[in-house]
Chain A
Amino acid sequence: MKKIILLLVLCYGNLAAQNRAQINWLSWEELDSALVTKPKKTFLFFEADWCAYCKKIDRVVFTKPGIIQKLNKDYYAVRMNVETQDSIYFDGKVFTNTQSLTRRNGVHDLALLLGTRPGKSFSLPVTLILSEDFSIKKRIFNYYTSGLLLGFLED
C-alpha cells in the first residue's frame, strides 16, 4: 500500500515537473555568442501567426518531455516569427525585414535566407537542424510528430 502511495506521489511529482519544463529558447544574439563559447548543435524553428501547422507543433510537439529534454541537453534552440520587424544581429551581419517595408505580412530576410527552396515559394513551417559547425544536417518543410522529431534530433 505504501509502495502504491509512493508511486502515485512520484508520478504526480513527475507530471508536475513536466508541466513546468520548457524548451530553453535562445535569441539569435544569444545563439551567436553561445556558439563561440561552447559549440553545440542548433535547432531552428520558423513560424508565423497564420500558420496552423506551426501552432500545432508548438502546442503538441514542443510540449513533450522527451523533446524538451533532448533539445535542452544537446541543442541550442531558436524560434523565429518570420514576420518580425526587428533587426537581428547575427554572425557579424544585420538582418532586417525588407519585405515589411512594402507589405504587412513581409517575411524577414533571415528566414527567407534559411528557409527558401529553389523553384518553390517560401512556406511554413520550416525547421532546420544544424551540426556543431553550423552546417545544415536537415531541413524540414512540413509538419512532424514528436516521434519523428526525436528521430531527426537523434541522427
Chain B
Amino acid sequence: MRISLIIIELFTFSTGFAQDMRVLKGSIYADGQPIPFATIYARQSEKGASADASGHYELELPVSSTQLSISAVGFKTLNYQITPADYDKKSLDFSLLPDLLGLEEVVVSATRNQLSKKKAPVIVQVMSPKLLRATQSISLADGLNYQPGVRVETNCQNCGFTQVRLNGLEGQYTQILVNSRPVFSALNGVYGLEQIPVSIIDRVEVVRSGGSALFGSNAIAGTVNIITKEPVNNSWEVNSNLALIDGKTADRSINLNTSIISEDLTTGVTLFGMYRDRDTYDANDDGYSEITKLTNHSFGTKAFYRPNDNSKIGLDLTAIKEYRRGGDRVELAPQFTDITEELDHNTFFAGADYELYNDERTTNFTAYASIQHTDRASYYGGLGGGRTAADSVAANNAFGNTKDLALVSGAKFSYTFANDDVLTSGLEYQLNDTEDAIPGYNRIVDQRVNSVGLYSQYEWKPIEAFTTLLGARLDHISVDGFYSIQDIERRSQVSETVLSPRITVLFDITADLQFRGGYARGFRAPQAFNEDLHISSVGGEQRFAILSDDLESEFSNAYTASLNFTKDFNKTQTSLLIEGFYTTLQNPFTLVSTGDSLPNGAILDESRNGSGAYVAGTNIELTVSPNQDLYFQAGMTFQKSIYKEDQVLFESDGTVPGESDVIVLEFTRSPNLYGFLNANWVMSEAFKLDLTASYTGSMIAPHVISYSGFMLLEKTPDFIDVTPKLTYHLDVKDTFHVELSTGVQNVFNSYQNDFDQGPLRDSNYIYGPNRPRTFFFGIRFGDF
C-alpha cells in the first residue's frame, strides 16, 4: 500500500498542453530478463517514464516525438527512432546491452572539454592505474608500453634516458601534458617520465596522431595526457616495492599518498611523496652499467578551494630531487672513473589554476599559470680508458651546470550551444629558458624560446551520427639560441608565425561501427630539444649534439582514419579497432654524426634538415571481455618509416681506410612490428592475476664501433617481455586494506645480449626491453 502510493507519486507526469497524444507500451529487457525501472525518454518532448518492477513501461507522447532514449545503470544507452507503426504495436520491446568495456568513460583529451569516450571524434586510449599496477610500474615510463602504437625506449646505458615513441616517431613529436597543460620543458622531457609518481595518477589519456586539435604544434605523433586524482574522501596509502633485477640488483621504492577533503567539499589537499633507490645493473660483467643508479625523492601537494559550486581554485607544488649515475665504479668520484654520467636534478614546480562555470554549465572559463625551475649538476666524462695527465685534466673538466626555467600560462573559454555544438577558444603563453654550460668542453646551450599560441575549435554536430571538429592554432614562436662546443659556435634566431589547421570527423555508420578520420598540420622551430641536451659516450670520448647552421623549421602533415567495431555476442563484449596513419615530414630535424671532428677528438652530431620522410602504418587493437572477471586486450602496430632520399647518418672524413659514409633509407630504432597484450583475471574477492606482455620486433640500431664515430647498422632480434603478477587483497576493516603482490617482469628474460664492453663502448647501443628478468614484491596498505 505504502509503496503503491509512492509509485503513483513518482511516475505520474503532467501531460502539459493539450496535444495529439499517443501511447507507447512494452517491456525493456536484457538477455531475456526484464530490467526493472529502466528509464525511457523522448528527447524532443522531454517526456519520460520508468518501467515497473517487471520491466513494463507505458509512455504517453505527442505524435511529434521521433526519438527515444532508453537507459539503465550499467547498460549502454539505446537510441531508437520511432516509426508511426510503433504506435499501433501491442508491445514495443527494447533489449539493452550491458556496458563492460567502459565505452561510456569520460575523457578530456579529445576536445579539451570532458566528453564521453564513444562520442569523442578522436580515438582516446585511457590507461587506468589498474594497468600501471598490473605491470608493477614505479614510474609512468614503465606502464606506457601497453598502449597500442606506443613504445617506451631506453636510449642510454649511462644515464637511462628514456623516450616515448608514438606511431613510429621519436619522442619530440609527442607532447606530454599534465592535466592538459604542457608543463614539461625541453630539459624535463629527457628524464621527466621517470619522475612522476604513479600514486597520484588517476588515468593517462593517449591520443595518437595529431588529430588532437588544441594541443601544441609539435603534437604530431600524439599526446600523452596525465590526469591526476581528484579525491572525495579522506584517504591514505603506503605503497612499497622491492624488485630484484636479474635476481641481484635491488630497486626499492616507497610511495606515500594522503588526501584530506572538508565535509562541504570546498577545500581539500593531497600530499604525496616518493622515494626510490635503484642500484646499477651490469648485464655483461664488464664493470660498466647497463641500468643506471637512480635515487629519487619527490614530494608535493595539490590543494583546491571552491568558493562556490561553479568555481574552483587549484594550487600545485612539487619538488623533485633526482640523482642518477651510470658508467663504471660508481663508488668513486666521477673524475677518477673511466666513464661516468652523473646528473643531479633539483626541480621545483608551482602551478595555479582557476575554473569557472555558469549555472547552466554551458560556459566554462579556465585560467592557469605554472612555473618550473630545474637546477642540474652534471658530469659527462671520465678518463676514457687513458691514464695520462691530459686524460686526468679532461676528466676533471667534465663538470657542468644547467639551469632551466619554464613558464606556462593560458586561458581557455568554451561555450555549448543549445544544439550541443561547442566552441572552444584559448590563448597560451610559454617561455622556456635553458642554460647548459660545461666549461671544460666550452660547451654552452643558451636558449630562450617564447611562444604564444591562439587556438579555436568548433565542434559541429549537424546530425546525430556525425560530429566534426574544425580547428586551428596560430603560433608565434621566437627562438634566441646560442650553442657552442669547443671551437664551434652556432646561433638560432627565429621569429615566425605559423598556422596549423586541424580537422577530425566522427561518423556512426551503424550503432556498432564508427568511422573516424583526421588531418593535422604541425611544425617545430629550430631549437635544441631533449635529445640535443643529452650527451652520450663512445670510444672513451663524449658525443655532443649541436644545431647545424641555417637549420629551418620542420613541418609535418598527419592523416589518420579508423574503423571501430563494437559488438556483443551474448554476454561477451568485443571491440575491434583498425586504424591507419600516414605522416609526412618536411625538413625533419635529423642527427647526423660528423665523426670525431672536434679538436679534442670527441664526436659531434649535427641536427640537420633531412630531405623528408614519411611514416605509414596500421594499429590494430582487440578487446574482449567474456564477463566482469575477465578482460583481455591486445594490440599490434605494423608500420614503415622511410626517408624520401638516402639519409646520411655518419659522414666519413675519408682518413680511416675501410670507412665510408653510413646511409639509411629507413628510420633507425623503429621496428616495423610491435605490440602488447594485457589480461586481467579476478579469481576471487582476494586474488587477482594479471598477465601483461609487450612485443618489440626487429629493427635497425646504429652501433658506433670506432673512435672515428663510424657505425654499423645492426639488425636487432625481436623481443617478448612478459610479466605475470599475482595480487592478494585483504579487507582488514572498512578503513584499512592490505594488498600483497608478487610477480616477475620479463619472465622469459628476453633482453639484449650484445652490449658493448669496457670504457670504449657506445653507450647508446641499447635497445629492446628496459630490464632483464626481474622479481618483484609489493605491499600496499591504507584506507584507499
Judge whether A109 and B36 touch: CB under 8 Å: yes
Residues of A within 8 A of B71 (CB): 121
Judge whether B5 and A135 touch: CB under 8 Å: yes
Q: Does B63 sit at the interface, judged by CB under 8 A?
A: no
Judge whether A119 and B234 touch: CB under 8 Å: no
Q: Does A52 sit at the interface, judged by CB under 8 A?
A: yes
Measured CA separation A136–B470 after assembly (Å): 49
Residues of A within 8 A of B48 (CB): 118-119
Judge whether A52 and B232 touch: CB under 8 Å: yes
Q: Does B747 sit at the interface, judged by CB under 8 A?
A: no
Judge whether A98 and B263 touch: CB under 8 Å: no
Residues of A within 8 A of B73 (CB): 107, 121-123
Residues of A within 8 A of B10 (CB): 116, 136
Number of residues of chain B lying within 8 A (CB) of chain A: 39
With contacts A99-B36, A118-B39 taken as known, whether A106 is within 8 angstroms of B50 at the C-beta atoms is no
Shortest CB–CB separation between residue B632 and chain A, in angstroms?
A: 18
Q: Does A145 sit at the interface, judged by CB under 8 A?
A: yes
Judge whether A118 and B11 touch: CB under 8 Å: yes
Smallest Cβ-Cβ distance to A101: which chain B residue: B33
Q: Does B35 sit at the interface, judged by CB under 8 A?
A: yes
Smallest Cβ-Cβ distance to A118: which chain B residue: B48
Q: Does B628 sit at the interface, judged by CB under 8 A?
A: yes
Judge whether A98 and B233 touch: CB under 8 Å: no
Judge whether B7 and A113 touch: CB under 8 Å: yes
Judge whether A103 and B36 touch: CB under 8 Å: no
Judge whether A102 and B232 touch: CB under 8 Å: no
Shortest CB–CB separation between residue B126 and chain A, in angstroms?
A: 17
Shortest CB–CB separation between residue B397 and chain A, in angstroms?
A: 57
Shortest CB–CB separation between residue A50 and chain B, in angstroms?
A: 11
Q: Which of A55, A109, A121 contacts B72 (CB 8 A)?
A: A121
A:7-36 near B, CB below 8 Å: 35
Smallest Cβ-Cβ distance to B55: which chain A residue: A98
Judge whether A98 and B232 touch: CB under 8 Å: no
Measured CA separation A145–B306 after assembly (Å): 15
Residues of A within 8 A of B9 (CB): 135-136
Q: Which of A59, A103, A113 contacts B234 (CB 8 A)?
A: A59
B:93-147 near A, CB below 8 Å: 98
**Total A-B contacts with CB atoms under 8 angstroms apart:** 99
Shortest CB–CB separation between residue B309 and chain A, in angstroms?
A: 10
1/0 contact string of A58-88 vs chain B (CB within 8 Å): 0111000000000000000000000000000
Shortest CB–CB separation between residue B28 and chain A, in angstroms?
A: 12
Q: Which of A91, A95, A98, A119 contacts B1 (CB 8 A)?
A: A91
Judge whether A56 and B3 touch: CB under 8 Å: no
Judge whether B263 and A60 touch: CB under 8 Å: yes
Q: Does A2 sit at the interface, judged by CB under 8 A?
A: no
Shortest CB–CB separation between residue A106 and chain B, in angstroms?
A: 7
Measured CA separation A99–B99 after assembly (Å): 13
Measured CA separation A95–B2 after assembly (Å): 14
Smallest Cβ-Cβ distance to A144: which chain B residue: B264
Q: Which of B6, B7, B37 contacts A134 (CB 8 A)?
A: B6
Shortest CB–CB separation between residue A85 and chain B, in angstroms?
A: 14
Measured CA separation A104–B571 after assembly (Å): 12
Smallest Cβ-Cβ distance to A35: which chain B residue: B2
Measured CA separation A21–B35 after assembly (Å): 40
Measured CA separation A121–B39 after assembly (Å): 7
Measured CA separation A34–B175 after assembly (Å): 63
Q: Does B356 sit at the interface, judged by CB under 8 A?
A: no
Q: Which of A93, A117, A118, A136 contacts B13 (CB 8 A)?
A: A118
Judge whether B34 and A102 touch: CB under 8 Å: no
Judge whether A102 and B30 touch: CB under 8 Å: yes
Shortest CB–CB separation between residue A100 and chain B, in angstroms?
A: 10
With contacts A59-B233, A113-B37 taken as known, whether A105 is within 8 angstroms of B74 at the C-beta atoms is yes
Residues of B within 8 A of A102 (CB): 30-31, 33, 98, 571
Residues of A within 8 A of B488 (CB): none
Residues of B within 8 A of A90 (CB): 3
1/0 contact string of B552-581 vs chain A (CB within 8 Å): 000000000000000000010000000000
Residues of B within 8 A of A140 (CB): none
Measured CA separation A95–B36 after assembly (Å): 11
Q: Does A112 sit at the interface, judged by CB under 8 A?
A: yes
Residues of B within 8 A of A134 (CB): 2, 5-6
Q: Which of B30, B31, B53, B265 contacts A113 (CB 8 A)?
A: B53
Judge whether B6 and A114 touch: CB under 8 Å: yes
Residues of A within 8 A of B34 (CB): 98
Residues of A within 8 A of B628 (CB): 103-105
Measured CA separation A54–B575 after assembly (Å): 33
Q: Which of B49, B53, B72 contacts A118 (CB 8 A)?
A: B49
Q: Does B41 sit at the interface, judged by CB under 8 A?
A: yes
Shortest CB–CB separation between residue B468 and chain A, in angstroms?
A: 28
Measured CA separation A99–B30 after assembly (Å): 9
Judge whether A113 and B233 touch: CB under 8 Å: no
Shortest CB–CB separation between residue A130 and chain B, in angstroms?
A: 8
Q: Which of B7, B11, B35, B231 contacts A99 (CB 8 A)?
A: B35
Measured CA separation A39–B770 after assembly (Å): 69
Measured CA separation A121–B73 after assembly (Å): 6
With contacts A56-B232, A90-B3, A103-B628 taken as known, whether A116 is within 8 angstroms of B263 at the C-beta atoms is no
Shortest CB–CB separation between residue B340 and chain A, in angstroms?
A: 48
With contacts A103-B98, A134-B6, A135-B5 taken as known, whether A116 is within 8 angstroms of B39 at the C-beta atoms is yes
Residues of A within 8 A of B231 (CB): 52
Q: Which of B5, B7, B11, B39 contacts A120 (CB 8 A)?
A: B39
Q: Which of A55, A116, A143 contacts B265 (CB 8 A)?
A: A143
Residues of A within 8 A of B30 (CB): 102-103
Judge whether B39 and A119 touch: CB under 8 Å: yes
Residues of A within 8 A of B6 (CB): 113-114, 134-136
Shortest CB–CB separation between residue B80 and chain A, in angstroms?
A: 15
Measured CA separation A103–B73 after assembly (Å): 11
B:246-278 near A, CB below 8 Å: 261, 263-265
Residues of A within 8 A of B3 (CB): 90-91, 93, 113
Smallest Cβ-Cβ distance to A128: which chain B residue: B6
Q: Does A53 sit at the interface, judged by CB under 8 A?
A: yes
Residues of B within 8 A of A91 (CB): 1-3
Residues of B within 8 A of A52 (CB): 231-233
Residues of B within 8 A of A103 (CB): 30, 74, 98, 628
Shortest CB–CB separation between residue A56 and chain B, in angstroms?
A: 5
Residues of B within 8 A of A119 (CB): 39, 41, 46, 48
Shortest CB–CB separation between residue A70 and chain B, in angstroms?
A: 16
Measured CA separation A102–B627 after assembly (Å): 10
Q: Which of B5, B31, B37, B233 contacts A116 (CB 8 A)?
A: B37
Residues of B within 8 A of A106 (CB): 74
1/0 contact string of A141-154 vs chain B (CB within 8 Å): 00101110000000
Shortest CB–CB separation between residue A12 and chain B, in angstroms?
A: 24
1/0 contact string of B10-42 vs chain A (CB within 8 Å): 110100000000000000001101111101010
1/0 contact string of B64-77 vs chain A (CB within 8 Å): 00000001111000
B:213-246 near A, CB below 8 Å: 231-234
Residues of A within 8 A of B36 (CB): 98-99, 109, 112-113
Judge whether B263 and A146 touch: CB under 8 Å: yes
Shortest CB–CB separation between residue B683 and chain A, in angstroms?
A: 14
Measured CA separation A99–B55 after assembly (Å): 11
Beyond A119-B39, A121-B71, 6 additional contacts (C-beta under 8 Å) are A52-B233, A113-B36, A114-B6, A120-B39, A121-B72, A145-B263
List A residues at the B interface (Cβ < 8 Å).
Answer: 35, 52-53, 55-56, 59-61, 90-93, 95, 98-99, 101-107, 109, 112-114, 116-123, 134-136, 143, 145-147
Q: List 28 A-B contacts (CB under 8 A).
A: A52-B231, A55-B232, A56-B261, A59-B233, A92-B1, A99-B35, A99-B74, A102-B33, A102-B98, A103-B30, A103-B98, A103-B628, A104-B628, A105-B74, A106-B74, A107-B74, A112-B36, A118-B11, A118-B49, A118-B50, A119-B46, A119-B48, A121-B39, A121-B72, A122-B37, A134-B6, A136-B10, A143-B265
Closest 3 A/B residue pairs (Cβ):
A112-B37, A118-B48, A119-B48
